């Protein structure tokens, strides 16, 4: 993980753009 000088990880979590997320399995895998 490329962390710039002066920064540290905020927490153990990961983040994703909410527009890329769905609450259901993609149709291709249903």
Residues in touch with another protein (CB under 8 A): 1-4, 6-11, 13-29
Nearest by Cα to 9 from 21, 19, 17, 1: 1
CB of 24 to another protein, least distance (A): 6
In angstroms, what is the minimal distance from the CB of 29 to another protein?
5
* Integer angstrom CA distances of residue 3 from 6, 9, 10, 13, 22: 8, 8, 11, 15, 29
Least distance (Å) between residue 19 CB and another protein: 4
């Amino acid at each position: 993980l490329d962390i710039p000088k002066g920064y540290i990880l905020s927490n153990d979590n990961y983040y994703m753009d909410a527009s890329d997320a769905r609450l259901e399995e993609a149709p291709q895998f249903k």
